[in-house]
Structure 1
Amino acid sequence: MKHTGSDPWSSPRAWSTVPVAGRDWLFWRNPDVDATLLSLDAVDRRLQRTQKMARVEAALLVAAGPMSTRKLMQIATLPDVGEANALIEALNQAYDLSRSPFRIERVATGYQMLTRPEYAHWLGRLHQRQAELKLTPAALETLTILAYRQPMTRADLESVRGVQCTELLKMLMDRGLVRIAGEDNSLGRPFLYETTRKFLETYGLRNLDDLPRASELRVSRTSQEPPVADADAA
């Protein structure tokens, strides 16, 4: 039968001969399907782990806390820090493509494998917060003021809160969230206090610039209050 017109079956390019079990078989090739398969194959290759990627992933998975790129380079036996950063980027791309609940994030001065924020609600049901991370409202308020206005003396901190903070500062220092940063130049040279690296790690911050700004926390008045009617328009 002779095929005419734009019938795709009539194109010689649509057919290919493939030897199977000693015989030649004709197969029709769909360019659209081939393109889709090639695209899926490319995605699949990006999801595959090389040995180096697997070592980086395993090291971050079992690490107790954030790991610096230099430490990661040593543990995963990588040639340099640049390759460690490139492998982390490749792993994050694989996580994004597969919609993984995990991601490698920069925390303080290192990297840590974390679950994505959208899963926090479910994970909170499974794991109770560690006792050392539970702070009273007063301690959390003290830590928040110090985080935004550090370094501060105890007197300055108490002037903001309006109450005595000696025991709260001691408790925060025992938890490793606050430390003495030096001495103030004022009369009596009182101690200055600041947050620690553990504070950044505990709250998933790369540095203090990651703290939410007041404008991000403040609820807009326009979203709470209905507009006031113009008396002249009545």
Structure 2
Amino acid sequence: MVKYNHKAIAEALLFTAGDAGLAIEQLTEALNLSDQQVEALMSELQSSYQNDSSRGIEVAVYAQKYQFVTKKALSDYIKLLADSPSPSALTQAGLETLAIIAYKQPVTRVQIEEVRGVKTDGPVHTLLARGLIKEVGRNEGAGRAILYGTTEEFLDYLGLKDLSELPPLPEDVEEDDKEDSDLFFESLKNGLSGNV
């Protein structure tokens, strides 16, 4: 039987894990190495992929998990594929609802509706089904309304390590001047449809 080195095993594990990625604890257990050894190994793996222009993927860390991602330099090619109409693209209502949850979490459906001014049953259901949001608890008030927050998949879709990397909200957007908010929603939409 061929004996593989740790680097090859780590590649196989990352490929198998796919979008879910692997936390350092999972890698230390699978490779039977210390945290420091795994960190050094993953750093070496990241460098080798990053510096090799013949490869279209690299190793990144999102939500404290290592995973394979496409190289940002190749984003134009990926956008050509992503820009073709897709039935799975989020609607404007879905994007607005997702943005409200991302910035105000934990938040109830009623609080989302207060911001949007319309019912959000459909968009919330869609976002839950796609794994972009989840129930994170119950409100302490009357009725114990469900509180919603974003998921690790949300971070993955936007290519963020954590919520602190979200773009800043536009300030002082007047009702008839929607240019800033349109740009914000467009960047959020691009992040969700062009995960690179």
Q: Taking structure 1 as the reference length, what is the TM-score of the superposition?
A: 0.62
Q: Does 1:58 align with 2:12?
A: yes
CA distance in 2 between partners of 1:176 and 1:132 (Å): 17
Q: Does 1:168 align with 2:123?
A: yes
- Change in CA separation of 1:132 and 1:104 when aligned onto 2, cut-off 3 Å: farther
SS in 1 for 2:119: coil
**Paired residue type of 1:51:** N
Please report how far the alpha carbon of residue 105 of structure 1 lies from its aligned counterpart in structure 2 after TM superposition.
0.9
Q: Does 1:208 align with 2:163?
A: yes
- Change in CA separation of 1:117 and 1:191 when aligned onto 2, cut-off 3 Å: same
Of all paired residues, the percent bearing the same amino acid is 31
User: Over the residues paired in the alignment, what is the CA RMSD in angstroms?
Assistant: 2.7
Per-residue CA deviations over 1:137-162 (Å, capped at 9, x if unaligned) read 11011101110111111111111111
Alignment of 1:144-159 (within 5 A): 144-159=99-114
> Out of 92, 116, 120, which is 2:75 matched to?
120
Alignment of 1:60-139 (within 5 A): 60-65=14-19, 66-75=21-30, 77-99=31-53, 100-126=55-81, 134-139=89-94
**Paired residue type of 1:209:** S
**Paired residue type of 1:175:** R
Per-residue CA deviations over 1:154-213 (Å, capped at 9, x if unaligned) read 111111111111221122112222222222223333221111222223332222112122
CA distance in 1 between partners of 2:43 and 2:167 (Å): 25
Please report how far the alpha carbon of residue 60 of structure 1 lies from its aligned counterpart in structure 2 after TM superposition.
1.6
- Change in CA separation of 1:127 and 1:140 when aligned onto 2, cut-off 3 Å: closer
CA distance in 2 between partners of 1:140 and 1:156 (Å): 16
SS in 2 for 1:201: helix
Q: Mark the structure with the bigger radius of gyration.
A: 1
SS in 2 for 1:113: strand
Does structure 1 retain, via aligned residues, the 8 Å contact 2:18–2:68? no
Does structure 2 retain, via aligned residues, the 8 Å contact 1:108–1:200? yes
Does structure 1 retain, via aligned residues, the 8 Å contact 2:49–2:59? no
SS in 2 for 1:182: strand
SS in 1 for 2:78: helix
Which structure has more relative contact order (CA 8 Å, sep 6+)? It is 2
- Change in CA separation of 1:127 and 1:74 when aligned onto 2, cut-off 3 Å: farther
CA distance in 2 between partners of 1:208 and 1:133 (Å): 24
- Change in CA separation of 1:119 and 1:88 when aligned onto 2, cut-off 3 Å: same
Does structure 2 retain, via aligned residues, the 8 Å contact 1:78–1:84? no
Gaps in structure 2 of 5+ consecutive residues: 171-179, 182-196
Aligned partner of 2:95 in structure 1 is 140
- Change in CA separation of 1:206 and 1:192 when aligned onto 2, cut-off 3 Å: same
Q: Does 1:199 align with 2:165?
A: no
Please report how far the alpha carbon of residue 118 of structure 1 lies from its aligned counterpart in structure 2 after TM superposition.
2.2
**Paired residue type of 1:151:** P
